[in-house]
Structures are given as structure tokens and as C-alpha cells.
Amino acid sequence: MTTLPGWLRPANRLIRLLTRAGLPLGTIHVLTVPGRRSGAPRATPVSPLTVGGHRYVIAGLPESDWARNVRAAGRGELARGRRRQPVTLTEVTDPGLRREVVRAFPREVPHGVPMFVKLGIVTKADPDEFAAAADRVAVFRIAPAAG
């Protein structure tokens, strides 16, 4: 498994704190989902992107805790600043759609590219290189929760 940078945990804590204080931070949202074992809320910063009129989020490490929690729960809350929205999350299994979404990432979320480089998924912000890596990441479609 890939080792995450040591600064990531404190940076994620700071982002969650700033979001709770109502400060929007570019494309960054905080996704909170129930833990797959405890059921306790687990929050992680994410950067949703829109492709073909639908919103998606990409897990660079498909077996990360947050991605596994999303698979188990299928629902959560997406927050940006003080705005919160209940959502459903569905993993994209269609390879063509997954490639299309991942290809759009460097254009839609350019500040997220360095993390994909650090993880060794890509070497630069090239849409074709991102598309080629689509089978090594997890993509989740975000939809407003019913009701």
C-alpha cells in the first residue's frame, strides 16, 4: 500500500476546521460518511468535479479508509463552507465513464494533481495520462439524497 505523506493528516484536520468555520476553500468540500465498522461519522476533504452534468469524486487510493467507508455506506454528507447536502455515492464501474471522469480531473481540479503525482498515479497534469490511470483509482458518482 502507498504511504501517505506525513503532513496529510494535519492538513486534512485544518481543512475540516476551516470548513466548519464557514470558509470555502476552492473546490474542496468535506465528505462525511459513516464508518464501515463503528458507524461513527468519518470526514475527509475531497474535490468533486462535474462531467456530463453529473458530479463525481475520485479516490486516488481505492482501498483507502474513506473509499471503503463510501462503498459500505453508499451515502453521506457533502459540505462546502457552512452549506451541507445529504448525498448518495455510487461507485462507477463502467470503464469508459471512469476514464472520462479521471481524464477531466487535471482540468477541473488542477490543485489536486500534485497529490496524484505524489501517490505515483501520474507524473504530470496530462489528461491522457490521467485517463490511462483510471483503472487504478476509484470513482464515485455523487447525487442528492432522496427525501
Nearest Cα to 82, choosing from 16, 8, 9, 144?
Answer: 16
Q: Give residue 16's pLDDT band: very low, low, confident or very high (50, 70, 90).
A: confident
Helix (H) or strand (E) holding 130: helix 127-132
For 36, the grid coordinates are 464501515
Q: Which of 40-44, 70-74, 89-93 has the lowest mean pLDDT?
A: 40-44
According to the model, what pLDDT value does residue 115 have? Answer: 87
CB-based contacts of 12: which residues, under 8 Å, 6+ apart?
44, 45
Going from the C-alpha of 22 to that of each of 19, 29, 77, 82, the distances in angstroms are: 5, 11, 15, 5
Whether the full predicted model's pTM is greater than 0.85, yes or no, is: yes
Residue for grid cell 456530463: 52
Specify the amino acid at residue 65: D
For the chain, the distance separating the N- and C-terminal CA atoms, rounded to the nearest angstrom, is 38
As a whole number of angstroms, the distance between CA 132 and CA 53 comes to: 22
